[in-house]
């Protein structure tokens, strides 16, 4: 059975915004995970309730969160996540940022921004941040790999997938299937730019939409009657 612990942390910090930007210490997160206790800060609870105002089944959704296991329920202005390990905590303090990203140690770490725009929310976007910006990104990534025969070996952690356009219509078939799953530039890149690019891909994957219906074309040609299903 899981437990819930509601806390007021960093009481010496004045203001809700400043307190919201703090974090639960990593050792407390690990301890809560072992005891299967979910830590909820009062500031997190405040923002979570605000997000749940427009959800019809908010009671059931809230119960699901409480039963999600031990750790820290971290809430952002646009979402929430249960952090179950100290390794998942974000860099919230300037001192931590300096220790991690200004030590010039090569590595790559996924970082989630506190402020998310509509595009990042839809894409579930995250930022792979290099530890040493004085060297190429590939060298930061290679530093995480082990060596096999003097070559970097990523094991099953990094894959390269190449899609050859063979047969020639393979790209169109893939675009069709992605479009039917509602995966296109209009949904991934909201705005006029993404919508315009989606039209180009839509015409490439579904060129038949430019061919008028035979019954419609015949009716428009002779002008004698309207096509079925058309009201004026």
Q: Give pLDDT tens digits for 30-55.
A: 888 888 999 888 888 888 888 777 77
φ, ψ of residue 43 to 5 degrees: the values are -70, -40
Provide the whole-model pTM: 0.43
**C-alpha to C-alpha distance for 219 and 230, rounded to whole angstroms:** 11
The mean pLDDT value of the chain amounts to: 78
Residue burial 30-65, b: 16+ Cβ < 10 Å; e: rest? eebbeeebbbbbebbeebbeebeeeeeeeeeeeeeb
Query: pLDDT digits over 141-187, tens only?
Result: 888 887 777 787 877 777 778 887 778 788 888 888 888 888 888 88
**Greater model confidence, 94 or 177:** 177
pLDDT at 136: 92
**Domain regions of the chain by residue span:** 1-89, 90-159, 170-210
* 224 pLDDT higher than 60: no
> Mean pLDDT across the stretch 100-108?
84
Q: Is the peptide bond before 102 cis (omega within 30 degrees of 0)?
A: no
With cut-offs at 50, 70 and 90, classify the pLDDT of residue 228: low
Query: pLDDT digits over 3-22, tens only?
Result: 888 888 766 666 666 666 67
């Amino acid at each position: 059975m899981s437990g819930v612990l509601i806390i007021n942390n960093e009481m010496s910090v004045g203001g809700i915004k400043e307190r919201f930007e703090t974090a639960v210490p990593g050792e407390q997160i690990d301890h809560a995970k072992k005891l299967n206790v979910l830590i909820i800060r009062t500031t997190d609870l405040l923002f979570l309730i605000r997000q749940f105002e427009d959800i019809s089944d908010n009671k059931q959704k809230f119960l699901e969160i409480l039963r999600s296991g031990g750790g820290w329920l971290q809430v952002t202005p646009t979402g929430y996540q249960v952090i179950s390990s100290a390794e998942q905590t974000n860099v919230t303090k300037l001192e931590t940022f300096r220790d991690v990203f200004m030590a010039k140690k090569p590595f790559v770490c996924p970082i989630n921004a506190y402020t998310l725009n509509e595009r990042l929310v839809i894409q579930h976007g995250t930022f792979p941040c290099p530890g040493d910006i004085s060297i190429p990104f590939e060298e930061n990534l290679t530093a995480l790999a082990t060596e096999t025969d003097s070559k970097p070996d990523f094991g099953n952690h990094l894959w390269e997938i190449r899609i050859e356009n063979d047969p020639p219509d393979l790209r169109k078939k893939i675009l069709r299937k992605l479009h039917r799953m509602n995966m296109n530039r209009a949904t991934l890149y909201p705005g006029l730019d993404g919508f315009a690019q989606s039209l180009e891909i839509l015409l490439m994957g579904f060129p038949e939409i430019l061919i008028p219906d035979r019954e419609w074309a015949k009716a428009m040609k002779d002008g004698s009657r309207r096509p079925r299903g058309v009201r004026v």
